[in-house]
Amino acid sequence: MMMGHGGPGRMLNTETQKPKNTLATLARFWHYFRPFWYAVALTVTLIIVATVMQVAAPVLIGQAVDCYLLPRDSACWYSTLQPGADTAALMGGLGGLVGLLIVLFVGGSFLQGLAFYSMNWAGQHALRGIREDTFDQIHRLSLGYYARNEAGNVMSRITSDTDTIQQVLGFALLSVVSGVLQIVLTMAAMLAANVPYALISLTVVPLMAWATIYFSNQARKAFRETRQQMGSVNAGLQESIAGVREVQAFNREQESIDQFRRTNAANRDANVRAASFTSALNPVLEALGYVAIAIVVVVGAISALRNQPLLGTAVISLGTIFVFIQFVQRFNQPIQQIATLWTNIQSAIAGGERIFGLLDVKPELLDRPDARDLPQIQGRVVFEDVTAEYKQGEPVLHGVSFTAEPGQTVAIVGPTGAGKTTIINLIPRFYDVSGGRVLVDGADVREVTAASLRSQIGIVLQDSFLFSDTVMNNIRYGRLGATDEEVIAAAKLASADSFIERLPQGFQTVLGERGGGLSQGQRQLIAIARAALASPRILILDEATSSVDTRTERLIQRAFDQLLEGRTSFVIAHRLSTIRNADQVLMVRDGQIVERGTHPELLAMHGAYYDLYMSQFRREEEPAAGGEAAPLPA
Residue 75 has pLDDT above 70, yes or no: no
Higher per-residue confidence, 93 vs 355: 355
Instruction: Return the amino acid letter for 85.
Output: A
Q: What is the pLDDT of residue 440?
A: 92
Q: What is the pLDDT of residue 618?
A: 63
Gap between the Cα atoms of 293 and 287, Å rounded:
10
Q: What is the pLDDT of residue 13?
A: 36
CA 193 to chain CA centroid, Å, is: 51
- The whole-number average pLDDT for the span 62-85 is 65
Residue 94 has pLDDT above 60, yes or no: yes
Question: pLDDT band at 18, cuts 50/70/90?
Answer: very low
Gap between the Cα atoms of 19 and 222, Å rounded:
12
Higher per-residue confidence, 90 vs 418: 418
pLDDT in tens, 156-186: 677 777 777 877 776 777 788 888 888 888 8
Nearest to 285 by CA among 241, 340, 227, 247: 340
Q: How many CB atoms lie within 10 A of CB 33?
A: 18
- The whole-number average pLDDT for the span 210-226 is 74
Write phi, then psi, for 581 (nearest 5 degrees).
-100, 15
Strand (E) or helix (H) holding 61: helix 37-63
Query: What CA–CA distances, in Å, run from 180 to 27, 249, 286, 610?
Result: 18, 59, 18, 80
Residues with Cβ within 8 Å of residue 290, at least 6 apart in sequence: none
Sequence length of the chain is: 634
Return the DSSP state at 634: -
Residue 613 has pLDDT above 70, yes or no: yes
Q: What is the pLDDT of residue 619?
A: 58
Return the DSSP state at 576: G
Question: pLDDT band at 634, cuts 50/70/90?
Answer: very low
Gap between the Cα atoms of 460 and 475, Å rounded:
12
* Per-residue burial over 473-504, b = 16 or more CB atoms within 10 Å of its CB, e = otherwise: ebbbbbbeebeeebbbbbbbbbbbbebbeebe
- The whole-number average pLDDT for the span 361-378 is 84
What percent of the chain lies above the pLDDT cut of 70?
A: 77
Query: If DSSP codes are grouped into helix, strand and coil, which group holds residue 466?
Result: coil
Residue 339 has pLDDT above 60, yes or no: yes
Gap between the Cα atoms of 226 and 232, Å rounded:
10
Instruction: Return the amino acid letter for 343.
Output: T
Q: How many CB atoms lie within 10 A of CB 264?
A: 16
Higher per-residue confidence, 92 vs 322: 322
CA 560 to chain CA centroid, Å, is: 39
Question: pLDDT band at 381, cuts 50/70/90?
Answer: very high
Return the DSSP state at 372: B
Question: pLDDT band at 71, cuts 50/70/90?
Answer: low
CA 80 to chain CA centroid, Å, is: 63
Q: What average pLDDT does the structure give for the chain?
A: 77
Return the DSSP state at 548: S
Q: What is the pLDDT of residue 545?
A: 56
Higher per-residue confidence, 8 vs 192: 192
Q: How many CB atoms lie within 10 A of CB 69?
A: 13
**Radius of gyration of the CA atoms of the chain, in A:** 37
Cβ 348 vs Cβ 168: under 8 Å = yes
CA-CA-CA-CA torsion sign (57, 58, 59, 64): positive
pLDDT in tens, 547-602: 556 666 676 667 667 667 778 888 886 667 667 778 899 999 888 999 898 888 88
**What's this model's pTM, rounded to 2 decimal places?**
0.61
Residue 99 has pLDDT above 80, yes or no: yes
Gap between the Cα atoms of 165 and 354, Å rounded:
11
Instruction: Return the amino acid letter for 434.
Output: S
Query: If DSSP codes are grouped into helix, strand and coil, which group holds residue 393?
Result: coil
What HEC string does 31-44 produce? HHHHHHHHHHHHHH
Query: If DSSP codes are grouped into helix, strand and coil, which group holds residue 74?
Result: strand
Residue 383 has pLDDT above 90, yes or no: yes
- The whole-number average pLDDT for the span 131-135 is 85
Instruction: Delineate the domains of the chain, giving CATH numbers in brackets.
Output: 33-359 (1.20.1560.10), 387-456+570-610 (3.40.50.300)
Q: What is the pLDDT of residue 110?
A: 92
Question: pLDDT band at 17, cuts 50/70/90?
Answer: very low
Nearest to 612 by CA among 573, 559, 582, 583: 573
Strand (E) or helix (H) holding 542: strand 538-542
Least confident of 8-22, 299-313, 489-503: 8-22
Gap between the Cα atoms of 429 and 451, Å rounded:
10
Nearest to 180 by CA among 39, 296, 328, 337: 337
CB-side neighbour CA atoms (13 Å) of 56: 18
Between vectors from CA 306 to CA 300 and to CA 308, what angle results, nearest 5°?
A: 75
Beta strand 409-413 with 394-404 is unpaired
pLDDT in tens, 440-498: 998 999 999 988 888 888 888 777 778 888 888 888 887 888 888 888 888 888 778 88
Q: What is the pLDDT of residue 258?
A: 78
Query: What CA–CA distances, in Å, run from 418 to 49, 272, 307, 433, 542?
Result: 72, 49, 97, 16, 14
Higher per-residue confidence, 599 vs 252: 599
Least confident of 269-283, 297-311, 523-537, 620-634: 620-634
Residue 292, classified by CB atoms within 10 Å of its CB into exposed (0-12), middle (13-18) or buried (19+), is buried
